[in-house]
Protein backbone atom coordinates (compact mmCIF):
# COMPACT_ATOMS: atom_id res chain seq x y z
CA UNK A 1 0.00 0.00 0.00
CA UNK A 2 1.36 3.44 -0.92
CA UNK A 3 1.64 6.14 1.67
CA UNK A 4 0.00 9.46 0.91
CA UNK A 5 2.44 11.87 -0.70
CA UNK A 6 4.78 9.07 -1.83
CA UNK A 7 2.96 7.92 -4.93
CA UNK A 8 5.42 9.58 -7.30
CA UNK A 9 3.87 13.02 -7.19
CA UNK A 10 5.92 16.07 -6.29
CA UNK A 11 3.97 17.23 -3.27
CA UNK A 12 5.79 18.46 -0.22
CA UNK A 13 4.78 17.76 3.39
CA UNK A 14 2.13 20.50 3.40
CA UNK A 15 0.45 18.93 0.36
CA UNK A 16 1.39 21.79 -1.96
CA UNK A 17 2.63 20.53 -5.30
CA UNK A 18 6.18 21.64 -6.05
CA UNK A 19 7.09 22.51 -9.61
CA UNK A 20 9.74 20.41 -11.32
CA UNK A 21 12.86 22.28 -12.34
CA UNK A 22 14.22 21.83 -15.85
CA UNK A 23 17.32 23.50 -17.25
CA UNK A 24 18.60 23.72 -20.81
CA UNK A 25 22.26 24.69 -21.08
CA UNK A 26 23.07 26.55 -24.28
CA UNK A 27 26.00 28.08 -26.10
CA UNK A 28 26.29 29.69 -29.52
CA UNK A 29 26.26 26.36 -31.39
CA UNK A 30 23.48 25.12 -33.63
CA UNK A 31 23.42 21.91 -31.57
CA UNK A 32 22.46 23.69 -28.36
CA UNK A 33 19.72 25.70 -30.07
CA UNK A 34 18.45 22.49 -31.61
CA UNK A 35 18.34 20.96 -28.11
CA UNK A 36 16.35 23.96 -26.85
CA UNK A 37 13.87 23.72 -29.73
CA UNK A 38 13.63 19.95 -29.25
CA UNK A 39 12.88 20.35 -25.56
CA UNK A 40 10.23 22.99 -26.24
CA UNK A 41 8.56 20.85 -28.91
CA UNK A 42 8.74 17.52 -27.10
CA UNK A 43 8.53 18.49 -23.44
CA UNK A 44 6.29 21.54 -23.88
CA UNK A 45 3.36 20.35 -21.74
CA UNK A 46 5.68 19.37 -18.91
CA UNK A 47 7.64 22.61 -19.22
CA UNK A 48 4.50 24.71 -18.80
CA UNK A 49 4.07 23.14 -15.36
CA UNK A 50 7.78 23.44 -14.49
CA UNK A 51 10.26 26.08 -13.49
CA UNK A 52 12.26 26.38 -16.68
CA UNK A 53 15.80 27.74 -16.78
CA UNK A 54 18.06 28.57 -19.70
CA UNK A 55 21.70 28.65 -18.69
CA UNK A 56 24.86 29.70 -20.49
CA UNK A 57 28.46 29.92 -19.39
CA UNK A 58 30.96 32.64 -20.19
CA UNK A 59 34.14 30.59 -20.49
CA UNK A 60 37.27 31.77 -18.75
CA UNK A 61 39.50 32.82 -21.61
CA UNK A 62 43.24 32.86 -21.90
CA UNK A 63 43.94 36.58 -21.96
CA UNK A 64 47.66 36.30 -22.77
CA UNK A 65 47.08 37.31 -26.37
CA UNK A 66 45.24 40.41 -25.16
CA UNK A 67 48.18 41.41 -22.99
CA UNK A 68 50.54 40.79 -25.91
CA UNK A 69 48.41 42.95 -28.20
CA UNK A 70 48.83 45.91 -25.85
CA UNK A 71 52.55 46.03 -26.74
CA UNK A 72 54.40 46.83 -29.95
CA UNK A 73 52.68 47.66 -33.24
CA UNK A 74 49.20 46.86 -31.97
CA UNK A 75 49.53 49.74 -29.55
CA UNK A 76 49.63 52.28 -32.39
CA UNK A 77 46.16 51.34 -33.60
CA UNK A 78 43.75 53.71 -31.81
CA UNK A 79 41.03 51.17 -30.88
CA UNK A 80 43.64 48.84 -29.36
CA UNK A 81 45.58 51.51 -27.53
CA UNK A 82 43.97 50.50 -24.25
CA UNK A 83 46.12 49.29 -21.40
CA UNK A 84 46.20 45.54 -20.88
CA UNK A 85 43.78 45.57 -17.90
CA UNK A 86 41.37 47.83 -19.81
CA UNK A 87 41.58 45.54 -22.81
CA UNK A 88 40.79 42.49 -20.67
CA UNK A 89 37.90 44.32 -18.99
CA UNK A 90 36.55 45.36 -22.41
CA UNK A 91 36.80 41.77 -23.63
CA UNK A 92 34.96 40.46 -20.54
CA UNK A 93 32.21 43.07 -20.94
CA UNK A 94 31.74 42.08 -24.58
CA UNK A 95 31.65 38.42 -23.60
CA UNK A 96 28.93 39.18 -21.03
CA UNK A 97 26.91 41.19 -23.60
CA UNK A 98 27.18 38.28 -26.02
CA UNK A 99 25.96 35.82 -23.36
CA UNK A 100 23.03 38.04 -22.41
CA UNK A 101 22.06 38.45 -26.08
CA UNK A 102 22.24 34.67 -26.51
CA UNK A 103 19.92 34.21 -23.52
CA UNK A 104 17.48 36.84 -24.81
CA UNK A 105 17.33 35.07 -28.17
CA UNK A 106 16.61 31.78 -26.39
CA UNK A 107 13.97 33.44 -24.22
CA UNK A 108 12.29 34.72 -27.40
CA UNK A 109 12.21 31.18 -28.78
CA UNK A 110 10.57 30.01 -25.54
CA UNK A 111 7.97 32.77 -25.78
CA UNK A 112 6.94 31.46 -29.22
CA UNK A 113 6.03 28.19 -27.50
CA UNK A 114 4.28 29.92 -24.61
CA UNK A 115 6.97 28.87 -22.15
CA UNK A 116 8.23 31.30 -19.51
CA UNK A 117 11.95 30.86 -18.90
CA UNK A 118 14.34 32.27 -16.37
CA UNK A 119 17.79 32.99 -17.79
CA UNK A 120 21.10 32.61 -15.98
CA UNK A 121 24.74 33.06 -16.88
CA UNK A 122 27.94 32.30 -15.00
CA UNK A 123 31.63 32.71 -15.71
CA UNK A 124 33.75 29.57 -15.56
CA UNK A 125 34.51 26.22 -17.07
CA UNK A 126 31.28 25.19 -18.86
CA UNK A 127 31.37 21.59 -17.61
CA UNK A 128 31.79 22.54 -13.99
CA UNK A 129 29.54 25.62 -14.07
CA UNK A 130 26.62 23.61 -15.50
CA UNK A 131 26.94 20.90 -12.85
CA UNK A 132 27.27 23.50 -10.09
CA UNK A 133 24.14 25.31 -11.33
CA UNK A 134 22.22 22.01 -11.40
CA UNK A 135 23.12 21.37 -7.78
CA UNK A 136 22.58 24.96 -6.60
CA UNK A 137 19.15 25.28 -8.28
CA UNK A 138 18.08 21.70 -7.43
CA UNK A 139 17.37 20.95 -11.10
CA UNK A 140 15.49 17.69 -11.80
CA UNK A 141 16.28 17.45 -15.55
CA UNK A 142 19.20 18.89 -17.49
CA UNK A 143 18.94 19.14 -21.28
CA UNK A 144 22.07 19.58 -23.41
CA UNK A 145 22.92 19.51 -27.08
CA UNK A 146 25.59 17.23 -28.46
CA UNK A 147 28.30 18.69 -30.69
CA UNK A 148 28.68 15.32 -32.38
CA UNK A 149 32.47 15.28 -32.03
CA UNK A 150 34.31 12.16 -32.99
CA UNK A 151 36.15 9.95 -30.53
CA UNK A 152 39.51 11.68 -31.01
CA UNK A 153 38.19 15.25 -30.67
CA UNK A 154 36.15 14.22 -27.64
CA UNK A 155 39.25 12.68 -26.06
CA UNK A 156 41.39 15.75 -26.74
CA UNK A 157 38.87 18.54 -26.14
CA UNK A 158 36.53 16.80 -23.75
CA UNK A 159 32.77 16.70 -23.99
CA UNK A 160 30.54 18.93 -21.91
CA UNK A 161 27.57 16.61 -22.37
CA UNK A 162 29.61 13.54 -21.40
CA UNK A 163 31.00 15.28 -18.31
CA UNK A 164 27.53 16.45 -17.25
CA UNK A 165 26.00 13.04 -17.89
CA UNK A 166 28.48 11.56 -15.42
CA UNK A 167 28.67 14.37 -12.86
CA UNK A 168 25.37 16.28 -12.76
CA UNK A 169 23.19 15.50 -9.73
CA UNK A 170 20.09 14.88 -11.91
CA UNK A 171 19.05 12.99 -15.04
CA UNK A 172 20.65 14.40 -18.20
CA UNK A 173 18.99 14.39 -21.61
CA UNK A 174 21.51 14.78 -24.44
CA UNK A 175 19.82 15.83 -27.68
CA UNK A 176 21.77 14.93 -30.79
CA UNK A 177 21.02 16.90 -33.93
CA UNK A 178 20.01 14.58 -36.73
CA UNK A 179 21.57 15.14 -40.14
In a domain, 78, yes or no: no
Q: In the prediction, which pLDDT does 4 show?
A: 40
* 9 pLDDT higher than 50: no
Q: Which residue has the higher pLDDT, 7 or 80?
A: 80
In a domain, 115, yes or no: yes
Mean pLDDT in residue range 53-74: 69
Half-sphere exposure of 58 (CA within 13 A, CB side): 17
* 94 pLDDT higher than 70: yes
In a domain, 43, yes or no: yes
The pLDDT tens digits for 129-156 are: 999 999 999 999 999 998 765 555 545 4
In a domain, 69, yes or no: no
Range of the domain at 127: 21-60+101-176
CA 65, 67, 71, 77 dihedral sign is: positive
pLDDT band at 60 (very low <50, low <70, confident <90, very high): confident
Q: For residue 129, give the H/E element and its range.
A: helix 126-137
pTM as predicted: 0.76
CATH number at residue 135: 3.40.50.620
Q: Which DSSP letter does residue 76 get?
A: G
* Number of compact structural domains in the chain: 1
In a domain, 71, yes or no: no
Amino acid sequence: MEEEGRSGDSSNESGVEEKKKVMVAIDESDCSHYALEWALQNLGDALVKSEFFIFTVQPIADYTYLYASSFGAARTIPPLSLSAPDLVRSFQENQKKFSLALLEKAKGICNKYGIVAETLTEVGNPKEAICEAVEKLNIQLLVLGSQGRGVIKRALLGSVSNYCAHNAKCPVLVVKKTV
